[in-house]
Copies of this chain bind each other. A is one copy, B any other.
């Protein structure tokens, strides 16, 4: 491997000068700059970022922890981040936490050992205190899809309550009054918040929340179908179903059809997230858009601004969901 030293000798300058042209720092006369560049090309020099990181005490890499890599959610989020980061020549070191406290901590620790300049964390098992503590230790990090009051400036999240509200509000607006709710697992804050929004819309409309019209699922398609069957088995009446996410909505629609109900003629269905496939179905799924990619972008902006001090990017801590009207909701006859 050719080093800066060899380049400097070939160019007849000191290694300090070579370093200056590589990093475009300090002042270098155009003539010597060309000399150095020529030497680098001739020798096939490749900058050693590891050595540079050690010497400069910055790695230009941000660590990213997500629960899983599969599925389209985290890919979209990381895609948003990557786009912004790449423009600033920063790289991403990725790790998965599997929603397990021990693993999450180990991964964070590993990324810190690798001296990431900043961390972007989508962690679910680690406690708030642990994260607050890291921030207080001076670790630069942004927490996505999670809100922690003590470090609210480090958090970026979606207004899930508003999303839940919007979904049910839509059903109410088009005339439904008996609205079932298929919730996500209450182990997750998102599930709870979306349900809160549902209740808000109901109460705002002067309607009583009926717990027996609610079913706790787990965000998976299957649990959506199970929810529908459970509700119908109990003899519950409803003309609309609001779901905690699109996958549950798909499951619900399948179950509904199996039981001879048409969507939306007999029963309206609304999802949450607006995953790609929501629009591929016929009819397209009416849902609430979760601006995932934008969240990833915001995380990148936070890091670029606060850690790398690169100008000021557009920024928001709490992002807004919005209603996407498609074909699975209609007024009750």
Contact = CB atoms under 8 A, between A and B. Distances in A.
Interface of A: 46-51, 53-54, 59, 61, 68-72, 74-76, 78-79, 82, 86, 91-96, 109-110, 112-115, 221, 247, 250-251, 253-254, 257-258, 276-277, 280-282, 293
A258 B112 CA distance: 55
Contacts of A61: 93, 114
Chain A to chain B: the 6 pairs with minimum beta-carbon distance, closest first: A69-B79, A75-B75, A70-B79, A72-B72, A277-B277, A250-B280
B54 A51 contact: yes
13 contacts: A46-B109, A48-B54, A50-B54, A61-B114, A70-B75, A71-B72, A82-B96, A86-B96, A91-B110, A93-B93, A221-B280, A253-B282, A254-B280
B96 A50 contact: no
Contact of A92 (B46, B93, B258): B93
A250 B247 CA distance: 17
Nearest to A52: B113
A157 to B, nearest CB: 20
Contacts of A54: 48, 50-51, 54
Contacts of A251: 280
Given A54-B51, A75-B75, A93-B91, A254 B282 contact: yes
Contact of A78 (B51, B69, B281): B69
A61 B54 CA distance: 16
A304 B142 CA distance: 32
A69 B71 CA distance: 11
Contact of A94 (B94, B258, B281, B282): B94
A53 B51 CA distance: 9
A247 B280 CA distance: 8
Nearest to A59: B50
Contacts of A277: 250, 277, 280
